[in-house]
Amino acid sequence: MNLSELTTMRVGGPAGELVRARSEQEIVDAALAVWASGDEWLVLGGGSNVVVADEGFDGTVILVESRGIERLPGGGVRLRVQAGENWDALVAQAVENGWSGIEALSGIPGSSGAAPIQNIGAYGQDVAQTLVAIDFLDYLTGDVERVTAEELGLGYRTSSLKRGRQGVVLAIELQLDESDTTVVGYDQLATALGVAVGDRVPTAEVRRHVLALRASKGMVLDAADPDSVSCGSFFTNPIVPENVGRSLPMDAPRWLEPDDVNVKLSAAWLIERAGIRRGFSLPGSRAAISSKHTLAITNRGGATAADVAELARYVRSRVMAEFGILLQPEPVAIGVEL
């Protein structure tokens, strides 16, 4: 099977071997077996944040398909969620049950086990705000360990798992609130809702408006929308020293970081001001910048991983030449240079 069939970017050649793991034990068994063999290995969930080379992956791919959401005893709403559980389905269930804490993360594709790896976030929420711990099969020890959120070193689109700690997430544990309302913490979402930041609104309304906002940017998987054939946001917003931020034009968006030393910039603004418009593509390429949002690279049909990588490198070079800032790709690259 070509990995293009298992990734939202729809690129990637064949796997050397594909193992479907439908339970925690099957995941553990598959991982321990491939580690013992010395073969190369790759864990794949929803395939929403990965670009796989056209040559494929000459190793074992463990496809995580475990399902299940268990409510644990204790105060509030403590959930243990299997790694293969669809993330947006989890958010939908939380909203339907009157639980708050992850509603602004509606529409983010992928599996629940992948959520803490890059600390997914949107519209004023991120996983770090509700994550308690993960159950983790550690590559070095071969043991299943409970790793707390604090031990994961969660930051903006990062964690120790993304920074090199090897293993497999088996399940995640979240602490939600038993409430069907939530505080709005993001300007764009507040404007869409017609409220002020800090106001409390129904979680169902937040989910509805977040899905609409994401759809307007091509960020909700939709077979009828070619802009959704992507990895979502392809570049993270750069965090730079404040003096670097001050060197940009006055209209450049920037947000002071909690350390009061660095500022976060808008990658989309940098891309646009570097002269790359929505819908842009390189000659002869089937990869293109989304027609709705410059932060996404899309597969317009028949694109190769090489097409995607070439466009990503071009965008990075243009922004570097214009502003001296190197954009960092958000997807995991397997066999390709982004």
Q: Which residues form the catalytic set?
A: 157, 233, 330
- Where is 176: in which H helix or E strand? strand 167-176
Residue written as token pair 């764009």: 188
Contact 303, 11 (CB under 8 A): yes
**The pair of three-digit structure tokens given for residue 277, joined into one six-digit string:** 């418009």
- Cα-trace Rg, the chain: 20
> Which residues make Cβ contacts (< 8 Å) with residue 69, sequence separation at least 6?
79, 80, 81, 82, 85, 90, 93
Determine phi and psi for 322, rounding to 5 degrees.
-80, -40
> Which residues make Cβ contacts (< 8 Å) with residue 196, sequence separation at least 6?
184, 190
CA 260-238-186 angle, 5° bins: 70
Residues in the chain: 338
HSE, side-chain direction, 13 A CA sphere, residue 211: 15
What is the layout of strands, in order, in the sheet containing 41-44? 15-21, 57-64, 41-44
How far is residue 47's CA from residue 5's CA, in Å, rounded to a whole number? 9
3-state secondary structure of 270: helix
